[in-house]
Structures are given as C-alpha cells and as structure tokens.
Amino acid sequence: MQINKLPIAIIGGGSIGLVAAAHLAKRKIPFILFELGSSVGQNILSWQHIKVFSPWKYNIDKIAEELLLQTNWEIPNKEGLPTGKELVDKYFHPLSQHPQIQPYIHLNTEVVSIGRKGLDKMKTANRENKPFIIKVIENNQTKYYEAKAIIDSSGTWNQPNPIGSGGVFAEGEQEIKNNIFYGIPNIKGDLLNRYKNKNILVVGGGHSAMNVLLDLADIQKKYSNTQINWVLRKKDLSVVYGGKEDDAFEARGALGARLEGLINGKKLNVYTHFHILKLTVNKNGIQIDGELNGENETISNIDEIISNTGSRPNLDMIREVRIDLDASLESVFDLAELIDPNTHSCGTVRPHGEKELRHPEKDFYIVGSKSYGRAPTFLMATGYEQVRSVVAYLDGDFESAKRVELNLPETGVCSSDSVSEGSCC
Ligand SMILES: Cc1cc2nc3c(=O)[nH]c(=O)nc-3n(C[C@H](O)[C@H](O)[C@H](O)COP(=O)(O)OP(=O)(O)OC[C@H]3O[C@@H](n4cnc5c(N)ncnc54)[C@H](O)[C@@H]3O)c2cc1C
C-alpha cells in the first residue's frame, strides 16, 4: 500500500493518546490506536482512588469536548476535582466510545517494537518513504501493522524506578518484590487489610508519596498499630511541602500543608537524605540497610514497602527508530531545557508543540508523559497542546502547528533536588 494511504499509529490509550485520536478524528485522518491494557486509561485506573489536583476545566481537551458533545455525554462540573476513576469513567471511556474513535482502538495489544519496514536504524537511503512497521502482541498473538507516522504516548507510569540508591536496584530488591508496591495502593479500599496495623515504609519525595502517606495517616486513626516510616533522598523537607497555600492548584498545595501537620504531630518517622542500599527479609520482617546523611543506618521490622520514586520511559520498543533524547532526563531533547525539574515546577513549563518534539526520524513523535522522560512535572493540558500541534503538522496545517494555544496557571513554586523522586506527579 502507498505510504500516504496508511493510518497514523498511536501507541497507548492513556489521556494523551486518546486526545491525539480525537484530534485525528476531527481532522478525518485515518488512525489506529494500540493499548496494552484491557481498558483505556489503564495507568490512571491503577491510581483510580486518588483525586487529581487540577480541576476538570484543565483536564478536558477542547476538541475531545467537541466530539463528546455530539454524544449524550454529561459534562462534569468544570471546577470539580475528579478522582482517577472519574477521569476514566466520565471522560476517557466515553471519548474512546465515540463512533469516530472506537472502531480504531485495539485493546489488549502491546507494542513491542517499531521500525522502518525492511530498514534497520543505520540505513538512510529512501528511509522517509518507507512505512513504519509495528510489531504487537494482540490478544496473545504476534501481529504486524504498517503506519505512515507514529505518535508514541505510552507514558512512563508502568516503568517505575527502583528504590535503590542511584537509580539502580538495591541488593535484594528484586528478590522481595512481593513485599514492595510500586505505585499508589488503594490503602483505604481493597488493600486495607494489607496495610492496617502494619509497619510500613514509604519511599519517595513527590506527590504520589504524599498521597500514600496521607492515606496511611487516615487509617492510622482507626488502626492505631499502623506505623508509618518515610524515607526520602532529599535533605530539605520544605522542598517536598511545595508551594502550600501559594500553589496555583489549591488541592496540590493542600497536600504539602497536611503532610507538614502530620510530621509536626509526630505521626510518622522521617528519614531525610537516606539512600537505600540493601533489603533483606528475616523473621521480624524486612530490614533496610542504607546511609543516612552519609552514616550507615538500618531500619528493621518493616512489613511492607511502598515505592514512589518516579518512573522512566520504555526505550526498548523504539530502539530501531532515530530519536534524540536528553542524556539525563531521557526526555525529547529539545524539551529538556524547558522542563528540567531542577529549575521548573509543574505549572511553569512553557507550552510547546511539534517543533520541539521533532526527531531525526521523520513523522515519529514521542508525546505525553513519555516526552518528559524521567521529569515528573507533566500535566495533561501540556500533552493536549503537544498533540494538537503534532496532528496539525501531520495534516499539513503548519500555521496551526506553530501556534501556542495553552495557558496554564503558574504555580510560583520552583523546586530543586527533585529529579530522582518524582517531585510533581
Ligand atoms: C496520582 C496522580 C495524580 C495526578 N494528578 C494530575 C493532575 O491533577 N493534573 C494533571 O494534569 N496531571 C496529573 N497527573 C499526571 C497525569 O495524569 C499523567 O501524567 C497523564 O495521564 C499521562 O498521560 P499519558 O497519556 O502520557 O500516559 P498514561 O496515562 O500513563 O498512558 C499511557 C498508556 O499507554 C499504555 N501503554 C504503555 N506501554 C504500552 C505498549 N508497549 N503498548 C501499548 N500500550 C502501552 C498504558 O497501558 C497506558 O494506558 C497525575 C498523575 C498521578 C499519578
């Protein structure tokens, strides 16, 4: 088939992949979307019990809303703060069911590799005229699809960082992985029995860790034998508390303020500037050996570990594509100076589009949280602007691709020392 007649392939049916689909549908450009999970918004559903900090008005893309309004969609209260489940149930799922989108979504389909048909990464001749070839495992079967362009929106959430010091697995970490929850467990819901009256260690210094600590503190009120320990690599807790009442996202600021109250009320043990080196299990539970402010330190008798040390992009599947990534963040190269978490916080990232997201591989784009690599500062609204611009460009609408149409609130809080621990989200 001629390359121009092929669809554009979207990898991942999370928030940004689905909005990319909406923009392609609106422009009547053929597309195909591959989603690893059995539902769209799979990664969001893994933290479905958590309320986001940005209100609906920032979470709904304009074009997606336009399409949804053609159906019997119930518009959420724009000032309200949805949980992860509400985001999927009230927005992403209905969007995925739109008649111009639904037929092109392949669920239970994992993309394992992407390349140019018949050409490895080294070959240049006629490269731009060859279709992309996508190898997938679809409902347990290996299949190949061709596409004229790729929008990789596969996120980073299902590639959590290890808890070991320096970004590598601590000795023993993989052996005891059944005692470690990477992510945000539903502590007050279906996992209550796992955590109530237990001695728990939380690792990480970002908003995910804060949500976990606050949930543990809630169950501690009723189950008073619940003990909470918090290990973080940062030295300075004020960095973790963030902007508090100065944060433009009130709900995000409130997390820091509540956490400070718990620490002042001695509801949890805090180990600041702790580096985990070794994990072992003995008859009393898990023992954590590491360094606290440069001195050897051991934390003992832990029943459960919850890890929130950020996440990293899956680069294996794009090994045969010519991409340009920043050496430290693993973000799209041109984004690094805009998003480096050493100097930017969630709301202060300048909007950007197709131009900044371009790679040496023509018509290949990494968007969404994956475009930020390991930087934790991504907001859905930023991703919507990315795909609006990329889709316009792929449609030959270069004027629209160049325009910046996003206006985010400033947080006024710039943190440093935050790259490794998922400071924002
Ligand atoms: C607790 C929490 C609170 C947050 N609060 C806010 C907020 O208030 N405001 C805000 O703007 N943002 C918030 N965020 C961030 C935001 O939700 C995410 O960054 C955003 O959803 C990322 O979208 P994405 O589409 O890039 O990735 P994801 O939503 O992670 O989607 C990626 C999708 O790709 C699929 N996938 C992965 N690998 C493959 C593969 N190989 N093949 C096929 N499919 C694949 C996954 O299953 C997933 O469905 C929050 C995040 C968390 C964790």
Q: Spell out the domain ranges in the chain.
A: 3-158+311-420, 165-310
The reply to whether domains 3-158+311-420 and 165-310 share a CATH topology is: yes
- Model pTM? 0.94
Phi-psi group of 43: left, alpha or beta (phi > 0 → left; psi -120 to 50 → alpha; rest → beta): alpha
Ligand 1 centroid, distance to 44 Cα (angstroms)? 6
Integer Cα distance of 361 and 204 in angstroms? 35
CB-based contacts of 194, cutoff 8 Å, min separation 6: 185, 304
CB-based contacts of 45, cutoff 8 Å, min separation 6: 37, 39, 84, 85, 88
User: Which atom of ligand 1 lies at the shortest distance from residue 380's CA?
Assistant: 11
pLDDT of amino acid 253: 77
The side-by-side arrangement of strands in the sheet containing 285-292 is 274-282, 285-292, 295-302
User: Which atom of ligand 1 lies at the shortest distance from residue 252's CA?
Assistant: 8
User: Which atom of ligand 1 lies at the shortest distance from residue 37's CA?
Assistant: 47
Integer Cα distance of 226 and 218 in angstroms? 10
Per-residue confidence at 307, pLDDT binned at 50, 70, 90?
very high
CB-based contacts of 240, cutoff 8 Å, min separation 6: 205, 206, 210, 232, 234, 256, 259, 423
Q: ∠ CA 155-158-161 to the nearest 5 degrees?
A: 105
Integer Cα distance of 4 and 78 in angstroms? 39
Side chain identity at 403, as an amino acid letter?
R
Does residue 206 line the site of ligand 1, with CB under 6 A?
Answer: no
Does residue 42 line the site of ligand 1, with CB under 6 A?
Answer: yes
pLDDT (mean) for 301-319: 97
Does residue 389 line the site of ligand 1, with CB under 6 A?
Answer: no
Res. 421: pLDDT tops 70: no
Ligand 1 centroid, distance to 16 Cα (angstroms)? 8
Residue from 34, 43, 407 whose mutation best tests the ligand 1 pocket (most atoms within 8 A of CB) = 43
Side chain identity at 218, as an amino acid letter?
D
CATH superfamily entry for domain 165-310:
FAD/NAD(P)-binding domain (3.50.50.60)
Question: Over the stretch 359-415, which tens digit does the pLDDT of each residue have?
Answer: 999 999 999 999 999 998 899 999 999 999 999 999 999 999 999 887 666 544 434
Does residue 44 line the site of ligand 1, with CB under 6 A?
Answer: yes
Number of Cα atoms under 13 Å in the Cβ half of residue 108: 6
CB-based contacts of 261, cutoff 8 Å, min separation 6: none
pLDDT of amino acid 80: 96
Integer Cα distance of 195 and 227 in angstroms? 10
Question: Over the stretch 121-135, which tens digit does the pLDDT of each residue have?
Answer: 999 999 999 999 999
Residue given tokens 């460009």 in the structure block: 393
Question: Over the stretch 46-68, which tens digit does the pLDDT of each residue have?
Answer: 999 999 989 999 999 999 999 99
- What is the distance between the terminal CA atoms of the chain, rounded to a whole angstrom? 42
Integer Cα distance of 360 and 204 in angstroms? 35
Residue with CA nearest ligand 1 atom 3: 52
CB-based contacts of 211, cutoff 8 Å, min separation 6: 47, 50, 184, 255
Residue from 33, 52, 308 whose mutation best tests the ligand 1 pocket (most atoms within 8 A of CB) = 52
Res. 241: pLDDT tops 80: no
The structural architecture, per CATH, of the domain 3-158+311-420 is 3-Layer(bba) Sandwich (3.50)
Does residue 138 line the site of ligand 1, with CB under 6 A?
Answer: no
Does residue 35 line the site of ligand 1, with CB under 6 A?
Answer: yes
SS3 192: helix
Yes or no: say if 15 and 368 are a contact pair by the CB < 8 Å rule.
yes
